[in-house]
A and B are shown apart, each in its own frame.
Chain A
């Protein structure tokens, strides 16, 4: 008995310790990405090389592109490109989203990185800041036509290392709203055109954050049918909220929408970096916190947003939120909403304290790894994928293969076909709905909310932890000012590592 127990204990302890030190760990909840992570993971796919052609490896997994439904279009783009080539062979490598960062980091660290990487958003790219090739010489040598793009979008990808990307997909933001809920509350819809006024209680007012919050309170309803401004409103039993920060749950996102982008890091060299988040960002987050936990709430707290009745985090899709501000990529995830008979429309982003609308423009593109041994061939493949043929296959779709990605093509020639697809997918929307989104391109967050910070993974995670704290901690258990100061102190420590 004793021997058996000893042997059993030692064997199990040994295996547990080995697992702790050398085994794989369960997956972490993914950091917010430009494109929402897909629910289904595809197995890693690697097409076998078939000839002596120059092989260009295309790594997909940091953002969109890993859903099995997205594979056929990506495979078709690869096949079409390969059919047009006698010197280059494009090889598709799809890695599940949850393990893509680790896989890519390992490949890069071992010197076996892929040639091209993407689609990937700004945040996903920051995790590999400094790893992307300056495309300038290749743009010049091949005569790649950049004039089709908005100059601002070209500038979007310029860093101190050069032109490290080219525009491909953009995701302007807007206010998604449910017209039926506005009708029920007797409220006017959010304006569809920037500059238009809003009528509230018979008066014309600016469509700014104060107005949005007031409207949101009127649209926040408890189990007794009272709205958040009425006496007797029960905040513990809300059945509908006025506003949702749909998957924009991060310090930087909320601050960018309310107060606009800001350089949040001071210093120009390792050792000199300090946090420079403006006070306006603190106030913006305080405003959101009050929206969740204040006397007249208009947003869902963390526990409420995470409840099954409220969509397990996909709040607007649950039909329990009257408004949500989030980028265009959220159209990915509204099928259940549509199928349940709900309809949405789009309104303009509210004005900030400075009288200007502040939005966010997310952007996905495909990049070239700095360590590629075949930059010319990689650029040729990249040009194809983000160019007309690739855009047609990957974003618009063909008769036999549906599109892989949902995003507004940066090339204006392909924007209308993409919008036509959205009109078909959401038949209750109109051309005006999508024009409102397109108008949001004029209000990007500059610098991006996902801008680079020293030790990006850790600093981004620390900010996310702060917002998570706001969502989940009631005021009697949270000292907002002290927590904000702690965030700043921690960021300074992380930047100094």
Chain B
């Protein structure tokens, strides 16, 4: 990754190269910058400035509802110290389950352990099926699997909420009336208690599967980009289907998997929509649905504690950055880029 940054830096025009430009090239550069200026202005004023302001907030005690009643004071690293000891945030693992609350970071990571493998391998599996030479009506099935992705996710979550309603949902009715399960044994899905939090995460994962169409399509594109001569060579070498997949297909599409994994991890840290719609964003039961990003939102917008909300957001940024760097570092061990040498 650092090599990429270095290459990017080297590709930027230096002051010297600007001086050496021809008048035409210089004029074109100026015109280009002129056309870009609305975006640059928008970025500086509406993105960069708020980001810097939010960083500043983390060092003061701004609670917006205090308004004119008090003037925010410089508190240094107090907000970060408070966050470190906040068992509801759970940034410090030693605070997990203190006071019976798992901690928002624990919730996010625990859910990730279930959701990430499903979010990566299920689209891959479906893409492999979609790419199978014996599949009839491949276009139809591809469209079918992709179509749910077009439905606004919030609408899909409401629909799933209705289907998985523990008392009136048709899935439980099916389990009871068709499969003959006891009413006392059917899962409560998102209404499960704290002791059965696994069912809640399973419910969320089930809802997430609805939107795998996009990841499947990217995987499929990767699969279709694998040169067929590699499969021919594997066949000549006597490889069976499983060996062909692990020795040929998987390495060849590992960049695509890496891409999906990166996005999935970033998305995991920002997980928000499902818990706020299905469990009303309350963290019910017992904090097991209080995801980190939801906790940021509640502090920022519901409690209007801007300083603490900003602190949570910046720590979220650090976490995402750290995990992303780790992921990019790990790429050299398992991501294969055809045609590139490894030093």
Q: Mark A residues whose CB is within 8 Å of B.
A: 1-3, 5-6, 8-9, 12-13, 16-22, 25-26, 28-29, 31, 101-102, 105-106, 108-109, 111, 113, 127-131, 236, 301-304, 306-310, 370-371, 455, 457-458, 461, 464-465, 468-469, 472-474, 476-478, 486, 489
Contact = CB atoms under 8 A, between A and B. Distances in A.
B4 A3 contact: yes
Given A302-B191, A457-B304, A17 B321 contact: yes
The prevalent SS among residues of A at the interface is helix
Among the interface residues B65, B192, B282, B297, which one has the most CB atoms of the partner chain A within 10 A?
A: B65
Nearest to B270: A20
Best-buried of A9, A465, A469, A476 by chain B (most CB within 10 Å): A9
A127 B66 CA distance: 9
Nearest to A305: B167
A17 B317 contact: yes
**Size bin of chain B's contact surface:** 35 or more
A463 B14 CA distance: 60
B202 interface: no
B99 A26 contact: no
29 contacts: A1-B225, A1-B337, A5-B255, A6-B1, A6-B4, A12-B263, A13-B263, A18-B47, A18-B51, A20-B320, A21-B54, A22-B47, A22-B51, A25-B272, A26-B276, A28-B276, A28-B297, A29-B281, A109-B67, A111-B68, A131-B67, A308-B162, A455-B303, A458-B302, A461-B282, A473-B191, A473-B284, A473-B285, A478-B285
Contacts of B166: 303
A298 to B, nearest CB: 15
A113 B273 contact: no
Interface in B272-330: 272-273, 276, 279-285, 293, 296-298, 300-305, 313-314, 316-317, 320-321, 324
Given A8-B259, A20-B313, A370-B68, A465 B284 contact: yes
Contact of A130 (B69, B270, B300): B69
Nearest to A24: B301
Contacts of A108: 64, 67-68
A1 B338 contact: yes
Given A28-B301, A469-B285, A489 B64 contact: no
Given A102-B301, A127-B304, A307-B167, 5 more contacts: A12-B263, A22-B54, A29-B280, A457-B302, A468-B282
Contacts of B54: 21-22
Contacts of B272: 25-26
Nearest to A458: B303
B20 interface: no
B223 to A, nearest CB: 14
